[in-house]
Amino acid sequence: MSDQSATSVIVSGETANVFDAVIVGAGFAGLYMLHRLRGLGLSTRVYEAGSGVGGTWFWNRYPGARCDVESLQYSYSFSESLEQEWQWTERYAAQPEIEKYLNHVADRFELRGSIQFDTRVVAATFDEAAKRWTIQTDRGESVTASFCVMATGCLSAAKVPAYQGIDAFRGKMYHTGQWPAEGVDFSGRKVGVIGTGSSAIQCIPHLARQASHLFVFQRTPNFSVPAHNGPLSPEVARDWQANRVKYRHRDRNSQFGFRIELNPKSALGVAPEERQREYEARWRDGGFAMLGAFADIVLNQKANETAAEFVRSKIRATVSDPAVARKLTPIEYPFAAKRLCVDTDYYPTFNRDNVTLIDVRARPIREITSTGVRTVEAEYALDSIVFATGFDAITGALLNIDIGGRAGVPLKQHWSEGPRTYLGIMIAGFPNLFTITGPGSPSVFSNMVLSIEQHVEWISDCIGYLRNRQLATIEASVEAENAWGAHVNEVANYTLFPRARSWYVGANIPGKPHVFMPYIGGVGVYRQKCDVIAAHGYEGFALRP
């Protein structure tokens, strides 16, 4: 793709710069969106910054990267034959298997011909006279489309903190969300990991087994529960196939979009022995089962404290050095108010002689030197640094693109006090621009694949509706956007989730407005709301010829 003019692109021998739709991103969202829009007969181009499909599962190749929703549920449901022909090997699939699955999907539905890889979209501008989007890429191309769909992902804008001296480091540096495709061998190396979120918690046990010494720089300890991963049993797989339709229906109408048995009792309304038994059973189940142990865990601080104390007792029982156990114990925010982590061997890793935990809340990192990390107390000599420092979540990937709506108003300006959307799907003043799993939708608070499918289907039905009626544009009204934002907030404030300094509220990015971004009313409730709005002729939207 080296010989391109500024206004044309060539994919599969086809030259065009005018499309019905442009999709940004070829992960779970972009691939299914392409499949649906092609089904409607739309000429569609996908731009993807990576050199392959997969989105988050293309970039996050760090050792131990694994999904923590069970694979049978964290997979597309739209095609029965796809479900029947694909066999997952583990309860929770690892990154290579999910990437392979998405490559299979791209081939199976012949999607590649419409995807231009190694191309980053840098700008998208709405032309009011033409009622079309102009999309520009980092290759200097410019194309136009009636519809622009952002399938850019919620956790795709990787963030490395602006440490003083970082450019002077002579060793190797990696971010978990931009891991080299060829992998990294840490054998015999002194490695530092900065961060202890989900990515770090997954990769630390692997790094510890390879490195000569691993230094873990922790600012805030997280609650982590065991995955109890293992091979997917043939009985479970058979049961899924036999009851697939029923299970998918259950998940679509649930709180989180995947199976969690919700105990209707209050944690405070049962005897301590029953509470302990319930938590132990959930811990044995593994994964997010803990979240459903009692109905009020995420609603009532006292109830939450019983779950928090249970996990703290597990940390104390696992980590042999009481001082290290104390450092690993979260105390300053409610259980699960920061995204609950799911691990394999995380806490036992701190019993290894070659692992040192450094509390950088108590003794902050002052700078990165040419040979390592210097805190206010000591310097740690390192061969490699792994930044497991997270993402500019939910809004980062959208705001990294220069998006201009009506009258050229930049999205950055519209969102200067935090993201505003209607349903997390559309933005007032940005006609025909759709955001799959955008801020204000269940997104990261749910089984992402299920929420992606719901958005893709809603968006493609909406585009079909417009075309059948010869309507050119759809646009969220300011009133609908304001009302939805107030509702998202109200629901969040009913829970304990906003009480942590988490990426859910943008607290991990200096200067980012603090707004609780996901909608946590439940995927079933949310789906119903979206369906009713569509059934009423897209209430809250203006549809114009």
Contact residues for ligand NAP, defined by CB under 6 A: 66-68, 155, 161, 176, 194-200, 202, 219-220, 339, 360, 365, 388-391, 444, 503, 508
Pairing of the two strands 355-359 and 213-218: parallel
Cβ 391 vs Cβ 60: under 8 Å: no
According to the 3-state scheme, what is the secondary structure of 457-494? HHHHHHHHHHHHCCCCEEEECHHHHHHHHHHHHHHHHC
Tokens of 225: 């529960």
> Least distance to ligand NAP from the beta carbon of 449, Å?
11
Tokens of 246: 């029923």
How many angstroms separate the CA atoms of 426 and 424, rounded?
6
Instruction: Tell me which residue of 455, 409, 403 sits closest to 429, measured CA to CA.
Output: 409
Nearer to ligand NAP, 202 or 421 (CB): 202
Report angle CA 178, 182, 183 to the nearest 5 degrees. 70
Nearer to ligand NAP, 199 or 432 (CB): 199
Nearer to ligand NAP, 26 or 365 (CB): 365
Pairing of the two strands 473-476 and 541-544: antiparallel
> Least distance to ligand NAP from the beta carbon of 297, Å?
18
Instruction: Tell me which residue of 54, 32, 55 sits closest to 44, measured CA to CA.
Output: 32
> Least distance to ligand NAP from the beta carbon of 330, Å?
10
> Least distance to ligand NAP from the beta carbon of 221, Å?
8
**Residue 411: strand, helix, or coil:** helix
Report angle CA 173, 175, 180 to the nearest 5 degrees. 80
Nearer to ligand NAP, 34 or 204 (CB): 204
> Least distance to ligand NAP from the beta carbon of 501, Å?
7
How many angstroms separate the CA atoms of 57 and 72, rounded?
16
DSSP 353: T
Nearer to ligand NAP, 198 or 254 (CB): 198
Nearer to ligand NAP, 67 or 232 (CB): 67
Nearer to ligand NAP, 188 or 364 (CB): 364
Nearer to ligand NAP, 389 or 473 (CB): 389
> Least distance to ligand NAP from the beta carbon of 45, Å?
28
How many angstroms separate the CA atoms of 474 and 430, rounded?
9
How many angstroms separate the CA atoms of 227 and 9, rounded?
45
Residue, CB closest to ligand NAP: 197
> Least distance to ligand NAP from the beta carbon of 139, Å?
29
Cβ 61 vs Cβ 183: under 8 Å: yes
Nearer to ligand NAP, 121 or 360 (CB): 360
> Least distance to ligand NAP from the beta carbon of 272, Å?
31
How many angstroms separate the CA atoms of 57 and 46, rounded?
17
Nearer to ligand NAP, 287 or 485 (CB): 287
> Least distance to ligand NAP from the beta carbon of 495, Å?
17
> Least distance to ligand NAP from the beta carbon of 157, Å?
11
